[in-house]
Structure 1
């Protein structure tokens, strides 16, 4: 069993029941989620040994969040406790032509106050095969960025594969640093990157002109040249017919050629949040278990598509269900 370590903030998710607007709500459903933790949960459901590293407030809320991760088979032995506040986000789910809306409350959270000296990476990475982070973590605070850098450097020194979903989000960078100041050095420590041409262009300033396919290939090639350790660049295309109906297609530049997966039609979206994390988990599992990039990409695309059918942040879908969709079973018939 492969051991995967993820690092990042976990937030409390609060949303009106079903598809109600906030102005209609008299109660809020509570769950927990965060980009990297979602990846860990997805991989745990696929049978992997998944470890999530984070920091929670030392109170009932922090312990509740820990229980949530344990409930989904994630190793929580490396979680730290301290500070007073849990990061939160409020989600109003969209439907058909009405977009989903998100409001964050994460400033001064327990995780935002992390410092490198807090984490013993030698112990955390014991027997680890893979380390995954996202571009959200270094955007939260100076301390979070430094912790992420330290984790990447340690993982590289031990020969552990490093992946990142760099999802460029300019609005998160509010502590005096720009993503262009921080992200290139962190990405240079990666073997596998998940990013669109826009993400790469905004962080590195590359010229990636062309049609959609050419833009991605040009961006991926330039990224690989600028960061010699990066061997493969993944992304997915999302065709949005409405908030309830999307089409998903994974793609990768593997250093030699461009590959696209079969497009999957998601006609009745239950919850779109966390679908990118499900794709990232699929990429990690696929690269560890399949010899061909075509197979790994097909697996990741299927994992992403299935997450649209699951309520909550994480893709709590069994391995065999992903494999069935990967191999073309789209019937959704009852299993007895």
Structure 2
């Protein structure tokens, strides 16, 4: 197994029309979740990924398992819960620049994930463990599951990738969010915050200060995402900046960060230079924004190769 991740996936309902959702009469049904988006992104690039989670023992839960399995992700560690439902969220596309998300995940099956659901042998076989700041915010038992997974990773020399993916409304307080985020960052080998997330943790500073702070906490690699501007990277030996790819029209920005994480991690697995890995992450993040849906824009290997090295003489039909 190349990468194991854990977290909640939900049914995504999107109005077929733009504007305030109260006027929507019909919705499309898709599937999304930061961790499974990431796993699917890597699977499409040819890597072996596994996803740990819980879903409701209901039709939505079955749909999620079937879909993610169909994308090539191992779902052998996903459990169904008869006593809790599968989470749902709505994506409201008011206009091209105003996308709003509303979650209905309180007391969902995934929020009951606990340390007893974590299999040491499953994580120990992986090269990387990927976690986000969403999962520990869902419940105390999810927080304990994350802590156990990190202990297993440390004991088995599995590198930990931490994407803060801050969802402030899920936390009981800003103080608790910062405490847990910094605690996880201190255990992680690779940390991937956005600029706003770094500011949340450390206050308003220059990117170099954020990089230095996270390296001092213990990270080997710090990736600092600056949106459409580009991405900073920091290690103890080097630092740099890689510009983003221009996008003529952003259709749906949700999921771009997960696409970046998948692209960057694929670069680590391929053993390419960190700057090239960041460039690949930027490319996939850009590609995701061009398509409606969390995973629909995630490319396969040949597609990302074409995006990075376009062939102007291609006349295939």
Same fold (TM over 0.5): yes
CA displacement at 1:5 relative to structure 2: 0.5
Query: Within 2, Cα distance between the matches of 1:48 and 1:221?
Result: 31
CA displacement at 1:192 relative to structure 2: 0.4
Structural RMSD (CA): 2.2
- Match of residue 65 from structure 2: 66
- Match of residue 243 from structure 1: none
Q: Does residue 1:224 correspond to 2:215, yes or no?
A: yes
Q: TM-score normalized by structure 2? A: 0.92
**Distance change in 2, residues 1:261/1:176 (3 Å):** closer
Aligned length: 315
CA displacement at 1:218 relative to structure 2: 0.6
CA displacement at 1:248 relative to structure 2: 5.0
Aligned-partner SS, 2:91: strand
- Match of residue 318 from structure 1: 300
Structure 1 stretch displaced more, 11-20 or 30-39: 11-20
**Distance change in 2, residues 1:323/1:137 (3 Å):** same
CA displacement at 1:145 relative to structure 2: 0.8
1:89-125 Cα deviation digits (max 9, x unpaired): 11112434x51111111110001122211222x2322
Query: Within 1, Cα distance between the matches of 2:40 and 2:143?
Result: 23
Structure 1 stretch displaced more, 68-77 or 287-296: 287-296
- Match of residue 85 from structure 2: 85
CA displacement at 1:154 relative to structure 2: 0.5
Gaps of 5+ in 2: none
CA displacement at 1:288 relative to structure 2: 1.7
- Match of residue 102 from structure 1: 101
Give the conservation status (yes or no) of the 8 Å contact 1:31–1:312. yes
Give the conservation status (yes or no) of the 8 Å contact 2:195–2:226. no
Gaps of 5+ in 1: 210-214, 239-246
**Distance change in 2, residues 1:68/1:331 (3 Å):** farther
- Match of residue 133 from structure 2: 135
Q: TM-score normalized by structure 1? A: 0.87
Give the conservation status (yes or no) of the 8 Å contact 2:195–2:207. yes
Query: Within 1, Cα distance between the matches of 2:313 and 2:138?
Result: 40
CA displacement at 1:175 relative to structure 2: 8.2
- Match of residue 35 from structure 1: 34
CA displacement at 1:299 relative to structure 2: 0.8
